[in-house]
A and B are shown apart, each in its own frame.
Chain A
Amino acid sequence: DGGITQSPKYLFRKEGQNVTLSCEQNLNHDAMYWYRQDPGQGLRLIYYSQIVNDFQKGDIAEGYSVSREKKESFPLTVTSAQKNPTAFYLCASSPNPGQTSTDTQYFGPGTRLTVL
């Protein structure tokens, strides 16, 4: 089945530790995105990538890093520099605008990160 997978679903880490969240898609989408969602709030963009080996900062990139070495994969590292990392993290992918008529984003199931 085609889709986006994120692992793990729940993640606990101690304060000061870096942690990497996985995101894989087999939809052959060029674009991938990472969002953060806090309770009762909308999605805020952390990083996005339109093509392999290229990515751009979103609105809240400080304390996060990403890589895009393969089309299928877009891992997010939450570093110790992120002041308040506890949140729900969502990965998404989409065709680049113009590739198809349905240019929406498809979301993975999310990873709930708790920093103790």
Chain B
Amino acid sequence: GQNIDQPTEMTATEGAIVQINCTYQTSGFNGLFWYQQHAGEAPTFLSYNVLDGLEEKGRFSSFLSRSKGYSYLLLKELQMKDSASYLCAVRAMTTDSWGKFQFGAGTQVVVTP
């Protein structure tokens, strides 16, 4: 099975940096994904890590350590529009759950002026 943990809520000021941690336990790990979801809308893809290390995409970066079952999403130069829920998801590749995604409960980021 898979267990995914991330903080419920984080608050930061505009222009600051916020780091959202995600820990997971899984069998057959085949990638970790981060999504952004604004209230009432569908999630949108932010980043993908399958190998250890840092992936950078503009203001957003994501890090993965497979041996520690740990990832983080780093949001830099926060803007008001970054206020949203951030979902961590793990994809499994086992015989009985091939290609299955498991999501964390999401971290609500609140950006204040």
B106–A48 contact, CB under 8 A?
A: no
Complex Cα–Cα for A97 and B91 (A): 10
The answer to the question of A103 belonging to the interface, with a C-beta cut-off of 8 Å to chain B, is yes
Q: Which of B87, B100, B104 has the most CB of A within 10 A?
A: B100
Q: Knowing A42-B87, A42-B104 are in contact, say whether A48-B99 is a contact too (CB < 8 A).
A: yes
Which residues of chain A have C-beta atoms less than 8 A from B61's C-beta?
A: none
The answer to the question of A110 belonging to the interface, with a C-beta cut-off of 8 Å to chain B, is yes
The answer to the question of B7 belonging to the interface, with a C-beta cut-off of 8 Å to chain A, is no
Size of the chain A interface, CB-CB below 8 angstroms: 26
Which residues of chain A have C-beta atoms less than 8 A from B93's C-beta?
A: 97
Which residues of chain A have C-beta atoms less than 8 A from B31's C-beta?
A: 97, 103
Do most interface residues of chain B lie in helix, strand or loop, or is the interface mixed? strand
B33–A104 contact, CB under 8 A?
A: yes
Contact with B along A54-90 (1 / 0, CB 8 A): 0010100000000000000000000000000000101
Residue of A nearest to B46 (CB): A104
A41–B42 contact, CB under 8 A?
A: no
Distance from B15 Cβ to chain A, minimum over Cβ atoms (Å) = 27
Residue of B nearest to A96 (CB): B99
Complex Cα–Cα for A16 and B86 (A): 35
Q: Knowing A50-B99, A58-B100 are in contact, say whether A41-B48 is a contact too (CB < 8 A).
A: no
Distance from A90 Cβ to chain B, minimum over Cβ atoms (Å) = 6
A107–B42 contact, CB under 8 A?
A: yes
25 A-B contacts (beta carbon < 8 Å): A33-B101, A35-B103, A41-B105, A42-B105, A43-B43, A43-B87, A43-B89, A44-B103, A45-B100, A45-B101, A45-B103, A50-B98, A50-B99, A56-B97, A58-B100, A88-B40, A97-B30, A97-B91, A97-B93, A97-B98, A102-B48, A103-B48, A104-B48, A105-B45, A107-B42
A interface residues with partner B (beta carbon < 8 Å) = 31, 33, 35, 41-45, 48, 50, 56, 58, 88, 90, 94, 96-97, 102-110
B interface residues with partner A (beta carbon < 8 Å) = 30-31, 33, 40-45, 48, 87, 89, 91, 93, 97-106
